[in-house]
Amino acid sequence: MGIVSLFVLFVGIFAVHAQISITAAAVPGVSNAGQGDVYLTSDTDVLYIGLEDGTLRKLGGVSNLSQNVATGTLNFVDENGTAQTAEVISGDAQNRLTAGSDGGAYLAEREMQLFTDQSSATQNWNGSSEQTVVTRTITLTQESIVDISYVFSYIRTSNGGGRYRRVNIDISGSTTLNNQMSTMSNTYSTSENWGHCSANRKYQFNPGTYTFSMRTRGNANCTTRTQTDDDYGWSMDITVFPAD
């Protein structure tokens, strides 16, 4: 039967018979419906027509599909008023998907950050006290893996052999870790007056603000030069990765 014919049929039904309100739960128990009478469920908005034997037969209904954009959950109510849900995003552990602004599945980009500092001029370092080479402050917005590398290449400018140079990283802020990644080198004779310290280590930090300080100390004066020099210079590189 075509759409036009159905429309004419429904118009004819409404014109001759009154529309009777009923609940969906009461439909199965109806046994005395007037033949041709039209019933509309007040709670599910479904049409029924009375048959010769007094029971009801469904003529049609309305289905509804909606989505909770905060969670991505789909909610569906069929023509019989039966409600069902479907999860767009799995609730399994370790699932990195979240609901986007429109309720669809969203995977945030895993961003890597690189912070680098290096020597850009000749610098003199004394042998009597600890000095800060460079300081870098970083704010982490999520749990992260922080990869730290440093190099400190120098030439000794005072005293004879048997002299040492030490370098380490001091971490302060949301977590305090003193004297991390300590390395030491020695120059043993007047003719052996150059050396270097280098280290690499990874840390896992919670969200927060952290300050990383590269420091040096020794028992003889020394000099570092720019990174463009063939032999001497310092650098500190910090790479940040999301931990999940």
> Do both 196 and 229 map to the same domain?
yes
Same domain as 83, residue 46: no
Query: Which pLDDT does position 237 carry in this prediction?
Result: 97
Residues 154 and 222 occupy one common structural domain: yes
| pTM to 2 decimal places | 0.61
Same domain as 48, residue 69: no
Residue 172 belongs to domain with CATH number: 2.60.120.1340
Residues 168 and 80 in one domain: no
Same domain, 71 and 51: no
Q: Helix (H, G, I), strand (E, B), or coil: what is residue 90?
A: coil
- From 14-28, 54-68, 75-89, 93-107, the region with the lowest mean pLDDT: 14-28
Better-scored residue on pLDDT, 234 or 186: 234
Q: What is the pLDDT of residue 17?
A: 53
CATH number of the structural domain spanning residue 15 = 3.40.1620
Q: Is the pLDDT of residue 32 over 90?
A: yes
Is the pLDDT reported for residue 10 higher than 50?
Answer: no
Residues 25/10, Cβ–Cβ less than 8 Å: no
| 132 and 217 fall within a common domain | yes
CA distances from 58 to 1, 3, 114, 209 (A): 16, 17, 66, 65
Total number of domains in the chain: 3
- Average pLDDT value for residue range 109-114: 88
Which ranges constitute the DSSP H helices of 97-238? none
Query: 136 and 16 in one domain?
Result: no
Residues 56 and 77 in one domain: no
Rounded to an integer, what distance in angstroms lies between the CA atom of residue 184 and that of residue 198?
A: 9
Percent of the chain topping pLDDT 70 = 88
What's at 73, amino acid-wise?
T
Give me the pLDDT at residue 45, please: 81
Instruction: Based on the fold, state whether residues 47 and 72 are members of the same structural domain.
Output: no
Rounded average pLDDT over 213-219:
94
Residues 158 and 230 reside in one and the same domain = yes
pLDDT at 113 over 70: yes
d(CA 211, CA 209): 7
CA dihedral 57, 60, 64, 65 (to 10 degrees): 100
Q: Domain check: are 46 and 73 in the same one?
A: no
Range of the domain at 81: 64-106
